[in-house]
Amino acid sequence: MGRWLIAAQLLCLLAGCSSKDPAINTSQSLVMESAVLSAGIITDEPTISGDEGQLRAASTLYNQRSTPVTVHYRFFWYDDKGLEITPREPAQTITVAGHGSVLAASQLGNLTASKVRLWIYL
């Protein structure tokens, strides 16, 4: 009986991970699906900088493998209260060359933003 309960809980957990948008804590600034890591892509947490009334979030993606990898990414912006700033930018697609790197970036004109979250998926 206990094994069935554990198996049912595991299936529910896995089903929750397959949603279109990641359901996570907004204080987490980087979300990478396991398939991205398996493909050899690594990155740092995104950084925010300001210039001429615009905020810019950026993160460099590195490919540890010799073959190019195409990934999708989306930045989510939040204010000081943790509320998402809309409208959202559409998801972007980028190819990271074998043993190369590329910059994933987003710009926002809403200066009330104070946090950003980067979601990377295949």
Nearest to 78 by CA among 25, 32, 31: 25
- Give the pLDDT confidence of 10-20 residue by residue, as tens digits: 444 444 444 45
| Total-model pTM | 0.76
Instruction: Confirm if 52 and 108 have CB atoms less than 8 A apart.
Output: no
Walk me through the domains of the chain, giving residue ranges and CATH numbers. 29-121 (2.60.40.3230)
Main-chain phi, psi angles of 109, to 5 degrees: -90, -5
- Give the pLDDT confidence of 45-100 residue by residue, as tens digits: 999 999 888 999 999 999 999 999 999 999 999 999 989 998 888 999 999 999 99
Residue 117, CB-side half-sphere exposure with 13 Å CA sphere: 20
- Give the pLDDT confidence of 74-89 residue by residue, as tens digits: 999 999 998 999 888 8
H helix count then E strand count, the chain: 2, 8
Q: Which two tokens stand for residue 121?
A: 């998926």
